[in-house]
Amino acid sequence: MTTRSTRSPRRRTVVALAVVLAVLAGFMVRLVDIQVVNADEHVADSLEIALRGSQTLYGTRGQIVDETGQTLAGSILEYDCQLDPLLITQIDAQVLDEKSDARLWAEVSDDVAEILETTPDAVREIVGAALAADPGSRYAELERGVSTEQFRALADLGTPYIVCLQHPARAYPDGAVAGNLVGFVGTDGDALEGLEKSYDDCLTATNGKRAYQKGKDGVIIPGTKVQQDAVDGGTLELTIHRDLQWYLQQLIGEQVQDMRAERGAILVVETATGKIRAAAEYPTADPNEPGAVEGVRGSKIFEGTFEPGSTFKALTAATVIDAGGQTPASTVVASSLENFPGGARVRDAFQHPAYTYTLAGVLIDSSNAGISKFSERVPSSTRYEYFKKFGIGSGSAVQFSGEESGDIHPVDEWGAQTTYNTSFGQGLTTTMPELAGAYGAIANGGLRMPLSLIESCTTADGTVVEPELPEPTRVISESTSAQVRAMLENVFLQAPYAKAVEIPGYRIGGKTGTGEKSDGKGGYKAGVYYTTMVGFAPADDPEYVVVVTLDEPKKVTSSAANATAFQKAMTQVLKTYRVMPSTTAPKLLPKFG
């Protein structure tokens, strides 16, 4: 029998046990919260508050490679080296007291200077200045950006007062090859130009951190290390071919110098895919020394606009065939100077009487008057719509940093003169990518493919991210495409420069353009031109479009200045991609009706 006197102690025991269990449960809940539920938050807090020592773990910025995997931009290790001035004085004192067989700083500093390619006095001044400011100084910066070779040489000196901390740095192993595209990063690692900037999200690494507690003697306390690993940047694969890019850069450099031009460029596009296989220009920047060439940083291919001149006659011809019922054999009567409604006057580049030109003949002779008369066979609004479908004024899908778009005003802003000038490439501007895309549509059965410069970004965990591109645009019918291609092939067969652009064994087609340059005051500069040659091959089954431009050539001021570079560029493209020679013969079209 349980009495009241025995029940009371038991109740107290049960209550006490319950309290103890409740306290333990509270501790358990708190422990789970700290170590499981909010572990990351508490680790972060500990890194910021509890742990006194830390070290940045640098992630590696991603590579930029060409279509074959060759490196255009990568990361190397560099070192920031520092000195301990107080330790230097202490060791020197021990040496002078014959308590150490170490070398004196006066001797070591000679070796340091030789390794860093500076003077011994400059090295010794670093230590002297630090001690003058603080006799107990334990830190003085020796040099930043020390190479791995220099770091190893410093380490071989065996001195305890030289410490070097490693960090990644950017390197461009092929120098200026594709330098206009790749761009560069600053000394602080920030992307400043080109694809380095445009695709910084793909390439950027996430740094990690190692933190720890140290005792008074500077020794790391065991068990206190906490580490967050770095995440490397992704690999950006381009569509360009490095070796082709290198060749074309040498070629356009020679052509610019030979023609005494201000600059020049070559753009190569694969017609079936819209992929840019080369985008060479001169002058261009070396990303290893981005400031070496004054005023040259980015890519004028993407950042420059120009009046395309007679290259636009092919777009007008395609429009009047596709929307106006014309054919290569359709005719107009045109003399070298024609007057049009509204007071517009159009003049050809050469004197001639009234010819009964075929549409093919207008392109072959590059008659401004003739194409102006053909342009009347469709409404101006229709021509404008076709120009826009060809991609003029729309830029490209490349997303290149600083990219410009051409400028074509709405039809209601065209005056009488502009109405006719636009038919032969004046009164509007375009870019090399836009022009390449337009000719790509003509060469690709009338289907304009969006241009691309990026194959993919492969992240550090292996995920492959491809760029989102617009859908292809149907510009003209396949029949129209075939007719325009035939006319452009005849341009390269029958034009005065035909021999200069001929590639034995291959059928090619294209057009030239000599655009005037604005004087910034509503007029044009006298005797100054921007010349263009654009073409495709093989003409019977086009695989590649090549555009060559020269800015203000002085030796030859017409677009014939581009012929040599175009012929060599297209020849190299066909060799690089092993395009088979043509097996059919072209059909000659009449110039006159």
pLDDT tens-digit series, residues 198-215? 999 999 998 888 887 766
The pLDDT of residue 363 is 98
Q: Is the pLDDT of residue 391 over 90?
A: yes
Whole-angstrom distance, CA of residue 142 vs CA of residue 562: 53
* Least trusted range by pLDDT, from 24-28, 221-225, 473-477, 546-550: 24-28
Q: Which two tokens stand for residue 583?
A: 């097996």
E strand or H helix at 64, and its extent? Answer: strand 64-65
Whole-angstrom distance, CA of residue 442 vs CA of residue 64: 32
Half-sphere exposure of 403 (CA within 13 A, CB side): 22
Q: Is the pLDDT of residue 186 over 90?
A: no
Cα-to-chain-centroid distance, residue 312: 27
The residues near 7 (Cβ < 8 Å, ≥ 6 apart) are none
Residue tagged 């159009």 (tokens)? 346
The pLDDT of residue 10 is 67
Segment 540-555 shows an average pLDDT of: 97
pLDDT bucket at 140, cuts 50 / 70 / 90? very high
The pLDDT of residue 378 is 98
* Least trusted range by pLDDT, from 109-113, 285-289, 323-327: 285-289
Segment 339-351 shows an average pLDDT of: 96
For the chain, the first-to-last Cα distance in angstroms comes to: 133
Q: Is the pLDDT of residue 536 over 80?
A: yes
* Least trusted range by pLDDT, from 428-437, 519-528, 569-578: 519-528
Q: Is the pLDDT of residue 241 over 80?
A: yes
Segment 118-122 shows an average pLDDT of: 95
The pLDDT of residue 139 is 93
The pLDDT of residue 522 is 77
Q: Which residues of 474-511 are buried (b: 16+ CB within 10 A; e: fewer)?
A: ebbeeebbebbbbbbbbbbbbbebeeebebeebbbbbb
Task: Report percent pLDDT > 90 for the chain.
Answer: 75
Q: Is the pLDDT of residue 537 over 50?
A: yes
The pLDDT of residue 67 is 96
Question: Residues 304-320: pLDDT tens digits?
Answer: 999 999 999 999 999 99
CB atoms under 10 Å from CB of 527, counted, come to 10
Segment 222-244 shows an average pLDDT of: 90
CA distances for 572 relative to 110, 437, 550, angstroms: 53, 20, 19
Segment 235-252 shows an average pLDDT of: 98
The pLDDT of residue 17 is 73
> Which tops the pLDDT comparison, 559 or 187?
559
Residue tagged 């395609």 (tokens)? 318
568, 292 Cβ separation under 8 angstroms: no
Question: Residues 506-529: pLDDT tens digits?
Answer: 999 999 999 998 887 778 888 899
Whole-angstrom distance, CA of residue 23 vs CA of residue 282: 77
> Which tops the pLDDT comparison, 399 or 456?
456
Q: Which two tokens stand for residue 205?
A: 């690494």
Beta bridge partners of 278: 268
Mean pLDDT, the chain, rounded, equals 91
The pLDDT of residue 259 is 97
* SS percent in the chain: helix, strand, coil, step 5: 40, 25, 35
Q: Which two tokens stand for residue 578?
A: 């092993």
Beta bridge partners of 473: 448
Helix/strand number for the chain, H first, E second? 20, 23
Q: Is the pLDDT of residue 429 over 70?
A: yes
CB atoms under 10 Å from CB of 442, counted, come to 31
Q: Is the pLDDT of residue 504 over 80?
A: yes
Whole-angstrom distance, CA of residue 529 vs CA of residue 553: 7
Question: Residues 20-78: pLDDT tens digits?
Answer: 677 776 677 676 666 656 655 655 555 444 446 777 777 889 999 999 999 999 988 88
Q: Is the pLDDT of residue 218 over 60?
A: no
232, 205 Cβ separation under 8 angstroms: yes
The pLDDT of residue 47 is 46
Closest Cα partner for 369 from 386, 390, 389, 345? Answer: 345
Based on its alpha-carbon atoms, the radius of gyration of the chain, rounded to whole angstroms, reads 35
Q: Is the pLDDT of residue 267 over 50?
A: yes
At residue 422, φ and ψ (nearest 5 deg) are -65, -25
Whole-angstrom distance, CA of residue 247 vs CA of residue 233: 30
> pTM (2 decimals)?
0.82
